[in-house]
Amino acid sequence: MKIKVLVLMLLAAGAVFAQVSVGIRIGAPPPDRVMRAQPRSPGAGYVWVAGYQYPVGNRYQWHQGYWTRPAYEGATWVAPHHDGQQYFNGYWKGDRGQVNHDHKWDKSKDKNRDYNRDHK
């Protein structure tokens, strides 16, 4: 009887500390759209972020390319990509850390949508 109680206690403890992870794979994104001409820069210090596909639920959505200022001075854009297995979001990187692009910022018509965002 003691062994049964001990086994049940160990199983219960394992259940409490167990972690379940669920992911949905939707495969690689469709090919990027071909853009006829890149719009003119709005001014000095702006960087062109080329359009790309990004996952939304179980499909991909097109993110139009745009001019913006880097998240902070010296940051460079690392474009999103899919390595055949997994999708990696685009982000700004540099000596002050990484700043991920938040698609909620896209609703703003502000041409500086990525500039001066909170970072590590």
User: pLDDT of 22-56, one tens digit each?
Assistant: 455 678 888 777 777 889 999 999 999 999 998 98
Q: What is d(CA 64, CA 51) in angstroms, rounded to the nearest whole number?
A: 5
pLDDT of res. 2: 75
Count the neighbouring beta carbons within 10 Å of the beta carbon of residue 93. 16
pLDDT of res. 33: 78
Number of alpha carbons in the 13 Å side-chain half-sphere of residue 94: 13
pLDDT band at 119 (very low <50, low <70, confident <90, very high): very low
pLDDT of res. 66: 87
Q: Which residue has the tokens 């018509």?
A: 109
Average pLDDT, the chain: 79
Q: What is the pTM of this model?
A: 0.64
